[in-house]
Structure 1
Amino acid sequence: MDDHQETLDLGSYAALGDSFTEGLNDPGPDGRFAGWADRLAAMLAARRPAGDFRYANLAVRGRLLDQVTAEQVPQVRRIRPDLVTFCAGGNDILRPGSDPDEVAERFEDAVLELREHTGTILICTGFDTRTVPVLRHLRGKIATYNGHLRAIADRNGCQVADLWSLRSVHDRRAWSEDRLHLSPEGHQRVALLAARSLGLAADQDPEAPWPARPEQTPAEQRRENLQWARAYLLPWVGRRLRGESSGDHVEAKRPELLPL
């Protein structure tokens, strides 16, 4: 653990990004989605006196990198949190014809802006999609983007939550039914990884083994894949063709730094 992590004292945190950081498919007690960022905020708040930690979550599902930069990064300039998590560009990488080199250049421009207004920046790499139908074909682009993200972190003194190396999320139970967003347990494991990446001690291990379960037969896997394609993949493709986003008309769930 380096000196920065040993002396880390965070009184406020703002989460930036898309559906991953908004927390889709992790229902919270207030009826809104919670997600790994909310869970990380709770861990950080537990280290301080009651009411002495403030948290904002500016992430909105479906946002592309330029939208995150235009809508969310300027809010950091205004609220000046101690910690920012900046996880963006994944939706850009999923788009046909996107160039991970070019996306990374725009990501670093945003990091340079964020550095002026916060003390600590944590970025997340993309997941390894080798076990994900359809998305496994984008594995090379994601790996290229991840290489850029690690280099950006090195150049700019950012912390990194390396989701590519998180083997526990290769289990199907880490993902919700749509296979694009994490399940509650998946969000918890990412929160634990993020906490560890910040040098915080945690009682649980993000790589803890999953409980044993019966193996699916090939026929069961085929049926499940067909159901998933009808329920989730085809509507997702349809939205892309129509130029629609799941985040249209959605606003940030926690736009201000408020006590947690």
Structure 2
Amino acid sequence: MAPQRSADPARWDSFVALGDSFTEGLADAGPDGAFRGWADRLAEHLAAHDPDLRYANLAVRGKLVRQIVDDQVPKAIALRPALVSFTAGGNNIIRPGSDPDEVAQIFEGAVAQLRAAGIDVLIGTGFDTAETPVLRHVRGKVGTYNSHLRAIADRHGCYVLDLWSMHVLRDSRAWSADRLHLSAEGHRRVALRACEALGVATDEDWREPWPAAPEASWRDQRAEDIRWAREYLAPWIGRRLRGVSSGDGREPKRPQLEKLIAAK
């Protein structure tokens, strides 16, 4: 079943974003210090076509796909939105021993529920982790998971936000200091890619080349690697070993459908 394409994005009068830290918007702080992220930016693009758009973001950092399906999907269905973005599974895939086939099965069950409720769904694939130091070793698992996601989208008529093919994100400036979450510019480009997937017109191009950057010396790169390992990698490994999630006890930042105050 193919998605029902429309040249009029204003038909989506309500939008709910589901997921983990990627959709919560970590490392993309707005003027007020709160995290913004690609989903908030996408909502702003949608609101440019429909100022009455209502938007909710139920994503919480650190969540596994089963937690997202059990906690966020029922809430999304109860809100009865016209459009849902659903990106999940990354925190599962990076765990040792995880099975992308099993993760995809859980994911598809949720997609089926959303589509049965008459909701349009935008699925996000996994990033190509070839250039990511911590996640390079799971690249094959991400590729397998992405193949499942593509098939799920075909079976259920979903839109696809293809992050794997965004070569522009291979630049280090697309990533924050922790090298695990996108920078503000990375989030901006992903939002533009989402607009393209949905057929939402914008005046910007996510493919725009990065400006030239000065080349860092080997000594500076080494010092940065050491600082990153101390400040980000070691705590991340420690949380994995303790079974602690950065999202434990945290509530979604935007739990109800509400109009955007202003696009920034």
TM-score, length of structure 1 as denominator length: 0.96
**Is this contact kept in 2: 1:84–1:118, CA < 8 A?**
no
Contact 1:81 / 1:117 at 8 angstroms: preserved in 2? Answer: no
Q: SS of 2:164's equivalent?
A: helix
Determine the C-alpha separation between the residues in 1 that align with 2:229 and 2:81.
41
User: C-alpha separation between the residues in 2 aligned to 1:227 and 1:5?
Assistant: 48
Q: Aligned equivalents of 1:186 and 1:217: distance in 2?
A: 24
Identity %: 61
Give the deviation of 1:35 after TM superposition. Answer: 0.3
Superposed, 1:146-161 pairs within 5 Å as 146-161=146-161
CA shift for structure 1 position 251:
0.5
Q: Which amino acid aligns with 1:154?
A: D
The corresponding residue for 1:59 is 59
Aligned to 1:245: 245
Structure 2 partner of 1:116: 116
SS in 2 for 1:215: coil
**Residue 67 of structure 1: CA displacement?**
0.5
The answer (yes or no) to whether the contact 1:76–1:118 under 8 Å persists in 2 is: no
Whether the 8 Å CA contact 1:76–1:117 is kept in 2: the answer is no
Shift of 1:230: 0.6
For residues 160 and 86 of structure 1, the distance between their equivalents in structure 2, rounded to whole angstroms, comes to 10
Shift of 1:134: 2.3
**Deviation, structure 1 residue 7:** 4.4
Which structure 2 residue ranges, 5 or more long, are not aligned?
A: none
Q: Residue 119 of structure 1: CA displacement?
A: 2.8
Amino acid at match of 1:64: L
What residue is the counterpart of 1:214 in the other structure? 214
**Amino acid corresponding to residue 40 of structure 1 in structure 2:** L
Q: What one-letter code is carried by the residue in structure 1 that aligns with 2:154?
A: D
Query: Cα distance 1:241–1:3, how it changes in 2: closer, same or farther (>3 A)?
Result: closer
Which residue is 2:97 aligned to? 97
Preserved CA contact (<8 Å) 1:122 1:159: yes
Q: List aligned pairs for 1:1-260, cutoff 5 A.
A: 4-8=5-9, 9-48=11-50, 50=51, 52-260=52-260
- Residues 12, 53 of structure 1: 8 Å contact kept: yes
User: How far does the alpha carbon of each residue in 1:126-150 deviate from its partner, in whole angstroms, 9 at most, with x for none?
Assistant: 1001111121111000011011100
Secondary structure in structure 2 of the residue aligned to 1:122: strand
Gaps of 5+ in 1: none
CA contact (8 A) 1:55 1:256 kept: yes
How far apart, CA to CA, are the structure 1 residues paired with 2:97 and 2:210? 37
Provide, for residues 175-227 of structure 1, a one-character-per-residue CA deviation record: whole Å limited to 9, x for no partner.
00001111100000000000100011111111101110111233322221111
The superposition leaves residues 11-69 of structure 1 with CA deviations (integer Å, 9 ceiling, x where unpaired) of 00000000000000111233310000000000000101x3x110000000000001001
